Amino acid sequence: MVSVSRAREHPVAGVQQLQRDLLAPEPFNGLFQAGDKVIFLAGLASQVACARNPQLSSRLNRELPVSCLARADEAGVESFLFLSSVKAEQPLGGGALTIEYAGGTPRAQYGRDKAAAEVELIGAGSRCRVNVLRPANVYVDKLSPLHEAAPRGVLSAAMSIVRLAGKLPHAGRRSYVGLSDLCEAIECVIKKSSIDRQVFNVAEPNYPALGEAVARYAGQQVGESRLLSGLLALVSWSQRNMGKIGLESPAVFNLARDMVQSEVYSAAKLRCMAGWQPLSRMAVV
């Protein structure tokens, strides 16, 4: 197994690390061989950073995977798997389960770039198999070799609020996936040669409220604050109205909006076509 990134060494023993500058004009030249199976995970994951630097977001989240597929296909690789995000689709309202392409156009820069990359990759006409996985919020579960909890995105922001305020605002329910389950999903899609030009949501079948998810990491129940709920509602209302009059809201407002709304996604398509069965659960402590 070979890893390509800007890092000098790989944290997992037995993985060969190749250091490359991913912002160089052609960072993938000479990397691939016939029969390789390519998994593309690089990108700019912070929604705030993407909003502040849309050119960098476009480069890393849209242009780079398309360029990588072109070089990989020229070398005759067997398959190309792109790790996108559920943020490539605006979820359905009211906490309804969102299936692939049933929601709306993403509002944030990060989601728009991921969605654009998906369209270009699937429509590239490559000879190799091309598929897309859209993980929900990823957390490191006990089955992972990384051991330590490493929440991202909204979950990470919510834990910061708990550390500062001791409580959370009332927030919606959302989908998660454990890292071990995500790795299993990757393996399922790579091994099944009949799967080609498909986009899959990757999420556990249960979807806890944000406070329940934070409790899993904090080791204790987390109370809700009406004051914080009111502040988040005000931020969300401000963002909606700023957009209506053509003003750009601060990037951090996206996190506030995400906390208020529910984001629940169905992975039924992945379970049906690839036989994926998630083993871990976002359990409440």
One-letter identity of residue 177: V
- Of 99 and 27, more confident: 99
Q: Environment class of residue 150 by beta-carbon count within 10 Å: exposed (0-12), middle (13-18) or buried (19+)?
A: middle
- 173-196 pLDDT per residue, tens: 889 898 889 999 999 999 999 999
pLDDT for 18: 75
pLDDT for 243: 65
13 lies in some domain: no
194 lies in some domain: yes
CATH code, 52: 3.40.50.720
Domain that holds residue 93: 32-274
- Of 259 and 125, more confident: 125
159 lies in some domain: yes
- Residue 64 CA to chain centroid, in angstroms? 16
14 lies in some domain: no
pLDDT for 152: 55
What is the rounded (10 degree) CA torsion for 91, 54, 85, 246?
0
- 76-92 pLDDT per residue, tens: 999 999 999 999 999 99
pLDDT for 181: 92
228 lies in some domain: yes
213 lies in some domain: yes
108 lies in some domain: yes
Residue 285's pLDDT band (cuts 50, 70, 90): very low
Residue 35's pLDDT band (cuts 50, 70, 90): very high
Count of structural domains within the chain: 1
Each as own residue / partner, the long-range contacts of residues 246-253 (CB below 8 Å, 24 or more positions apart, any chain) are: 251/47, 251/48, 251/49, 251/50, 251/51, 251/52, 252/48
284 lies in some domain: no
